[in-house]
Structures are given as C-alpha cells and as structure tokens.
Structure 1
Amino acid sequence: MSAYDELMAFQHTTEALAQVAGRLGWDQETMMPRGAAPQRSEEMAAMESVLHARRTDPKVGDWLAAIDDAVLDDVGQAQMRHIRKSYARTMKVPAELAAEIAKVTSRAQGQWAEARSDEDVAAFLPVLEEVVGLKRQEGQALADGGDVYDAMIDDYEPEMTAAELGAMFDAMRPRLVALRAAVLAAEAPAALSGSFPAQKQMQLTRELARSFGYDMSHGRVDKAVHPFSSGSGKDVRITTRTSEHDPFNCFYSTIHEVGHGCYEQNIDEAYLLTPLGQGVSMGVHESQSRIYENQLGRSRAFTGWLFEQMQESFGAFGVADKEAFYGTVNRVHDGYIRTEADEVQYNLHIMLRFDLERALMQGDLAVGDLEAAWNDRFEADFGYAVDKPSNGVLQDVHWSVGLFGYFPTYSLGNVYAGCLHEALRAAVPDLDGQLAAGDTSAATGWLRETLQQHGGLRKPRETILHASGIEPSPEPLLAYLEAKFGDLYGL
C-alpha cells in the first residue's frame, strides 16, 4: 500500500469512531435517562481522548510527509486538504484540554436543559463559565497569536473571519430593519389558533420529511428539546419538537432538519467515512436547511399543498383557504425564539448572538453579565423586553455544548440559500407547479446534483459558486425577502 492508501485506511477508522461519538450525543438528547448524564460525560471524554490520539498519531505526520499531493487527482487532493488541516489543528490542542471540553460540555448540556425548564439562569452560569474558559483556551491554542474568535469560526466555516461577517451583517441590517418596519406597519395575516394533537403532528411531520426526499430507511425522526440533525452517510437522524398550539414549530423544524439530513444522505457513497463524506461547512449546510424550509417549504405553492394535508390531518382548523394559509405561515410577528422567527427577522436574532459571543470570546463580556447584555440588546433590536430566560439567553443549546463561532453560519447559510434559490428558479421554470402538487423532487434533485453529492470536495465558497454560478452575496437573499414580503403585505 502507498502512504496515501495507508493514511486513508487509518482515516476510515477514525471517521467511523467519530460517528460513534456523534451517536452518543444523539442518544443524550433523545433517549438517554436523565440520571445517566454523569456517566455519559465520562464516556464522551473517553471517546474524545481516543479520537484525539488517532488524529495526532505520529504515523499521520509520517504519512503526510511522504505524500506528494501534486500527483493525486482532485478527490485525493481534497482529501489531503481536509486531513492536513485537521492534523495541524488537532496538534495545537492538548489532549487533556480536548477531553475536558468533551466532558464539561456533555455535563453542561444537561444542566442547560434543566435550567431552561426551571427558568433559572443562575443554575446554568457556573458551568457556562467553565465552558467559556475552556473554549477560550482552545481558541488561543488554535489562533496561535491571531484572533481567537476567527479561529473558532474557522471550525465551522473555513476561511471566514469575524470582520468579513461583521461587514456583511452591517450591510444587511439596514434593509432588514426597513423591511421589518414596513411590514409591521401593515395589516398582518391572521395567526393560527386551535389545538393540534402531538401524535397527529408527528404523523404529518414524517410525511413532510419523506416528501422532501429524506430516506427513512437510513434515518429516523425523534423529539428533542432543541431540534438537530446527526450523522452522515447511511445513518442520518433528525429531531423535531411539538407544541399543541403551534404545529408550524414541528413542521418547519422538521423540514429544516431534513435539509441538513438530505445533504448528508445524498453525498457520493464513494466518500463514505472519509473527510469528504460530510457537509463542507456549517454555512453550506445551513443553506440546505434554509432553502428547504423557506424558499421551498414556505412558498405560496408548497403551502397550498400543506394546507390540504393539514385539513386531512386535523379537519377544519380556522383558516379559510390556501392564500390565507400562505399568509399565516409567513406572518411576520413579535417573538423571542430564533427557531420560530419569520424570515424577515431571523437574521437579526443571529446578529445579536454573533456580537455577544464574539465579546465573550474576546473577554469584553463576562459570563455573569451575559443575561443583562442579552436582554438589553434584544429590547434595543426588537422593541420589547424579554419576558423569561427560556425566551432569552437560555433558549439555544449551542453555548452549553461549546459551539462558539457556529451562530453566524446560520445567516451565512441564508445568504448562500438566496444565491442557490435564484439559480434553482432559472434551472426549474415550473418549480411552483411542482411544489403545488407536493412534489419537491426537481428542486431537491437539482440541489443533490449541483451541491449535495459533492460533500467536502470543494471549499465552501467554491461549493456555492459551482452550484449557483455566482459569487456568494447577500443581494439575492435581500431581493427575495423584499419581493416576497412586499407582495404579501402590499408594500
């Protein structure tokens, strides 16, 4: 075997073990008994120790030194790009620190869930302080004298910086704020009301998952406190949640996670259990979940089909017709929860988190001051006060599990989705006719062929450029939002 073949065989096992570690995380959020949390944190730390040891094994360095990337084909060069970067990154982080982060974040996740349920920020702050301290140490090791937050962002969106994201957000904010002001000054569609049994929601949500191409023979849909997707290749799982009076929470969380899940399921099988066998970045990943959820799932055409499905499941539910239902689904409204935010206001939620976590990581904001900073910023941005912690600083799981640098990729995913949607409309002229029949296959097939199947073959921006034909820019997203909501609200 050549050095490349030996390295790829070794990497195959490392990737398989990483999937096992991911499955432990999935179980913790879905089925694990609450009392198992202390043991699970030890198990997660043990798995991280094994993975760290493999990723820093001297043999990996020897193989990397022996391989001439120039003689490899495009796939081989892409594999090496990922492995070299991962090796360099992992070598900078001490094994003890990596294991401690895994242990503490596993414990913090359970404490966050309890604190959220009890509306008790004080109960969560001590462990969050630990997480922030450990992640700062990791960020300092990775930054090697550079910007700590940039090093964290690079874990989720390679070659992106906080300065570039900040400039993008600054350019987007005025148009988003102006659109929100115009929309909120207009007459709003009626809100959904009534009772929608959880069992029926779950039945319909699984049908929605299948309608978007999610392969249930290689996946499953469960319930969790915070919806997420997990896994890659032939075992890709998603979760959702139900609310008796808000079935949209369930349905659109599911469609969102199906976007993530389909990306992973549709990657070329030749890349299975290799660095190319997963989504290339969280921004690109989010582009899939957001285009599934919003440009497709909240379109006038698809909501007409969903209206009929809800009538079959729940009977008459107080919405007169398909057009009224389209307005209800896309209703711009006051709200605290990011995952339930309408398209107009969603990115403003992300900008808030981006600024706060950047300040946390740079040492400009103390963990003890985080709740007050959140509440002040929220009232300034949205015009009303946070009423309880579960609607404020405790609503998201991300900080408890150490995902600093992750939040801005949500808005970046929206930007990428805007570029993809513009290209999709040109490629599938009869898109609305198909969506009106509940048929997403042309849209999801185009995304599979142009983007999803390639996994990590290209860098993130190159991935979007290859699929959409244009350099990533917020202009298509902003134009889409202004046209859609201008029409819906008669602006």
Structure 2
Amino acid sequence: MSAYEDLMAHDRTTQALASVAGRTGWDQETVMPAGAAELRSEEMAALEAVLHARRTDGRIGDWLSKAEAPDETGAATLRELKRSYMRNTKVPEKLATDIARHTSAGQGIWAKARAEDDFESFAPTLSRMIDLKREEAACLAGGGDLYDALLDDYEPGMTGAELQGLFDRMRPRLVDLRARVLAAKAPAPLEHTFDEAGQMALSAKLAETFGYDLSRGRIDKAVHPFSSGSGTDVRITTRTSPRDPFNCFYSTIHEVGHACYEQGVRADYALTPLGAGVSMGVHESQSRIYENQLGRSRAFTGWLYGQMRDQFGDFGVADEEAFYAVVNRVGSGYIRTEADEVHYNLHVMLRFDLERQLISGALDVADLEDAWNARFEADFGVSVDKPSNGVLQDVHWSFGLFGYFPTYSLGNVYAGCLYASLRGAVPSLDQDLSRGDTSAATAWLKDCLQQYGGLRAPRDTIEYACGFVPTEEPLLAYLEDKFGTLYGV
C-alpha cells in the first residue's frame, strides 16, 4: 500500500471510533440514567485516550511526509489530516483525557445546578474546566492568543480580533433596529396550552418537511437541543413547553438544518476528514437559514398556521398574517435559544466577550454571574431573575466549548449571504414555501454547499456557494427590511 492508502486506512478506523464516542455522548444527554454519570466520565476518558493515541501516532507524520494526493479530494484530505495531526501532537495525552473526563462529569453537574438555580454549585466545575482549557490553549497557541487557539477548533482561520471587528460593525445597526422595533406595538404572545404529544407529532412532520431522513436519524428530547452524528446516523433532539410550541418547532427546524448538512455530505466522504461539516460557522449557516429565513418567512408561516390549527384547533390567533407576526414577535427575553432574530446576535456577543475574558484571566469565575447580570441588563434593559435564565442557561461551558459561541453569529452572517443567493437561484421560493414545500431551497443548499463537507475552508465554502465574499451586509439588510416592514418602522 502507498503512504496515502496507509494513512487513509488508519484514519478511517480513527473516524469510526470517534463516531462511537459521539454516539456515547448522545446517549448521555438523552437516555443515560443519572446514576451512570461517574462511570460514563471514565468511559469517555478511556475512549479519548485511545483516540488521542491514534491521532498522534508517529506513523502519521511519516505518512504525511510521503503521501501524494491523487486528486483535489485527496489534497483536501491531506490538508485536514495534517492540521489535525499538528494540533493533536501539541496536547499531552493526560491533558486530553482529563478534559474528556471532566467534560463528561461537568454536563451532569451543570444540569443539576441549572435545575436548582444554583450557580455556586457549578462554579468549581467551571473553574476547573477553564484551567484545563487554558492549559490546552497554551499547548496549541505556541505563545499566541489563547482564545484564538480554542476558536480554531470550531472556525479554522478565524481570530477573536476579526470577530470583534465584525461584531463592532453589526452592533450599532442591531441596537438601532431593536430600539425602533421595541418602540412599536408588539403582537400579543400566544395564550394557549399545547400538549406535548401534539408538539412532538408536528415536530416530526416539520423535520420531514425540511428534508430530514428519519431512516438515517431520530428525534429525541433533551434539556438543550442538539444534533449528533454524520452520514447514515444523524440524530437530533428538541424540547417542549406547554405554553410555547415555537420553542419545540423552531428548535427542531434548527437542528434539522444541522442534520441535513451531515446527511447531505457525499457518501464517499464517509469516515474521512471531509465527511462532516467544515466548521461550526458554516454548520450554523445551515441551521439558521432553515430556522429563520425559510422557517420564519411569511410564506412558510402561512402554511404552518394551517398545520397548527389542524393539530391543536383554534389556538387564539385570527389568521395567517397575525400568526406571522406572533412567530416573529420581538422582545427582550432571557434565553438565547428562544431569542428573536433582532436580539439573537446580541446574546452571542455577550457570551463572546465574557468567555474571552474568562480565558484571558481578566474575569474570574467567582465574578462571572455578576458580570453576566450587569452586562445583560445593560444590553437588554432587563434584570436577570435567576441563574437558569442567565449564566446557567447554556450547556456549552460545561463541555469546555470555549470559542464555540461566536460561530452562532458567524453562521447568521453566512446564512444572510446564502439567502441572498438562494432567492436569485429559486424564483419560486415564496410560492413553494407557502405550500410547505422546501425541496427546491434545500436542494440548492445541498448542491451548492452541503455535499462538499470539509472539501474547502470555511469562508471558501460560503464564497463558493454564494458567488461572493461573505460580509455582514446581506444579514443586516434582511433584518432591517423584514422587521422594519413587520413593525412599520
């Protein structure tokens, strides 16, 4: 066998083992009994030890030095394998396993603290997590910026400084739009109770409407909705609330966007470095365009209104126009995942600033809750009433996902660019969506972006699909037009 073939055979087994680890993580968040948490943390540490050993195997360096790419796909594969090898060899095995063990245990501690609204019970776990991630970042950064080293895991090639510039350009227009919208009359919220079985039934229908292949996936419930897996086994979760069915429906559509990206990657990329989404920013572009530009559009909500009446009967909303307004109601709520499109990026910017300070050491965990609450009140004009509506609402830091949060807003920026191109490519888009037909839109996304997986670098992936270099302008123009029209401002 050639060096390239040897390398690919080795990596295929590594990819398969990583897939097993991912499925174990899915089990932990959905069906694992609470009493198994300690055992699961040891299992995850053991799996990480095996994976780390395989990813840092000295033969990889030798194979990489000798391997010759047979084509464009092979060249991209070697690029990603080299990047992975260089990063993994910088992190000691003990540190990698310690992080895996702590993240597995941390999720359960966070969930209990969130349920009990007790940040102090989670603070020691978070402090230890930050120490471990700083240590990891120091290994990776080579004297450079620690946060950038962690960010590179989720959005290769991006820096904190570049994101700061992007957010500084976006913030004034978002704040101005929010002020104008909040000064206008908002539609009344839903005043009805929606049973869980009905929500889950319609959730499943929405998943299939957006192209999720349930023969290669499943829908479960979790405290924090997520998507897991790739290729022929891609699972999603959602959650229900008796007074807020949109939480369920749009969480489902959002996770379906992630899942369809993974299901849409070319089959021959399976169990290779190209066989999954290229970055979390690009991944979020799929979930956000499914959820917002398509799912919250005037055309699609008209169809969804009929589906909800069929499922729940009269739920107190007079017609399709009123329903469109309710779906897109703007308000200064606490929860990021429930935030309207006007506020959402402000939630992300808050987290981005705080986690950069945590990693740099400018902010201590002991001061985090106060810092969060003060920043939230300054940004949203509302005082945080309890930790589960504030610093404990997101699962990410319990998993050590520092550098992940800004990719949500980057995904929104990418989605704005994709939507501008999609409208030109699919002239019948509004007519299709008004019938609950997303097939032309999702086919365009699959053809132009999803099928290529990790073939191109993140920004190159978006530029290839859109035909232009991505900027924040299409997203801001979309938001200003949509909510300016909706609220008459």
Instruction: Tell me the TM-score normalized by structure 2.
Output: 1.00
Q: Give the aligned partner of residue 260 of structure 1.
A: 258
Instruction: Tell me how far apart the structure 2 counterparts of residues 429 and 387 of structure 1 sit (CA, whole Å).
Output: 46
Cα offsets for 1:234-273 (capped at 9, x unmatched)? 0000000000000000000000000000000010001001
Q: How many residues align?
A: 489
How does 1:392-407 map onto structure 2 within 5 Å? 392-407=390-405
Separation in 2 of the partners of 1:67 and 1:206?
Answer: 45
Task: Give 3-state SS (helix, strand or coil) of 1:400's partner.
Answer: helix
Give the residue type in structure 1 aligned to 2:377. E
- C-alpha distance in 1 between matches for 2:87 and 2:191: 50
Alpha-carbon separation, structure 2, partners of 1:2 and 1:309: 56
Q: CA deviation at 1:192?
A: 1.1
Aligned equivalents of 1:480, 1:470: Cα separation in 2: 17
Contact 1:229 1:239 in 2 (8 A): yes
- Pairing of 1:57-72 with structure 2 (within 5 A): 57-69=57-69, 72=70
**Residues 4 and 68, structure 2, Cα contact 8 Å, conserved in 1:** no
* SS at structure 1 position matched to 2:153: helix
In the TM superposition, 1:191-206 aligns within 5 A as 191-206=189-204
Q: Is the 8 A contact 1:451 1:464 kept in 2?
A: yes
User: Contact between 2:358 and 2:365, CA under 8 Å: does it hold in 1?
Assistant: yes
Q: Is the 8 A contact 1:186 1:489 kept in 2?
A: yes
Partner of 2:9: 9
2:382 maps to what in 1? 384
Shift of 1:334: 2.0
Give the deviation of 1:186 after TM superposition.
0.5
CA contact (8 A) 2:151 2:159 kept: yes
SS at match of 2:152: helix
Aligned to 1:273: 271
Contact 1:129 / 1:367 at 8 angstroms: preserved in 2? yes
Equivalent residue, structure 1, for 2:369: 371
State whether structure 2 residue 93 is matched by structure 1 residue 95: yes
Question: In structure 1, what residue type is equivalent to 2:344?
Answer: Y
5+ long unaligned stretches in structure 1: none
Tell me by how many angstroms 1:289 deviates. Answer: 0.1
Q: Structure 1 residue aligned with 2:121, among 120, 123, 139?
A: 123
Tell me what 1:248 maps to: 246
Over residues 187-209 of structure 1, what are the superposed CA-to-partner deviations in whole Å (9 max), with x where a residue is unaligned?
11121111000111001000000
The answer as to whether partners of 1:190 and 1:327 remain within 8 angstroms in 2 is: no
Equivalent position of 2:48 in the other structure: 48
Deviation at 1:65, TM superposition (A): 1.4
Q: Of 148, 153, 156, which residue of structure 2 is paired with 1:155?
A: 153
Residue 452 of structure 2 is matched in structure 1 by 454
Q: Deviations over 1:124-153 (max 9, x none)?
A: 001111100000000010001000000111
Give the fraction of aligned pairs with identical amino acids, expressed as a percent.
69
Q: Determine helix, strand or coil for the equivalent of 2:187.
A: coil
Matches within 5 A, 1:69-218: 69=69, 72-218=70-216
In 1, Cα distance between equivalents of 2:103 and 2:455: 30
Report if the CA contact (8 A) 2:350-2:376 is conserved: yes
Which residue does 1:469 correspond to in 2? Answer: 467
**Offset at residue 105 of structure 1 (A):** 0.7
1:29 aligns with 2:29: yes
Alpha-carbon contact 1:284-1:413 (below 8 Å) kept? yes
Does 223-232 or 56-65 show the bigger shift? 56-65
Deviation track 1:377-418 (CA, whole Å, cap 9, x = no partner) reads: 000100110000000000000000000000000000000000
Equivalent residue in structure 1 for 2:317, among 316, 319, 329: 319
3-state secondary structure, aligned to 1:239: strand
The answer to whether the Cα contact below 8 Å between 2:332 and 2:343 also exists between their aligned partners in 1 is no
Amino acid at match of 2:38: P
Equivalent residue runs for 1:279-294 within 5 Å:
279-294=277-292
Conserved in 2, the CA contact under 8 Å of 1:153 and 1:160?
yes
How far residue 68 of structure 1 moved from its aligned partner, in angstroms, is 3.7
For structure 2, list consecutive stretches of 5 or more residues without a partner in the other structure. Answer: none
Measure the CA separation in 2 of the matches of 1:149 and 1:372: 22
Question: Which residue number corresponds to residue 352 of structure 1?
Answer: 350
CA shift for structure 1 position 62: 1.3
Give distance in 2, aligned partners of 1:14 and 1:376. Answer: 45
Whether contact under 8 Å (1:79, 1:275) holds in the other structure is yes
1:121 CA drift (Å):
0.4
- Taking the aligned partners of 2:426 and 2:141, their CA distance within structure 1 comes to 44
Structure 2 counterpart of 1:235: 233
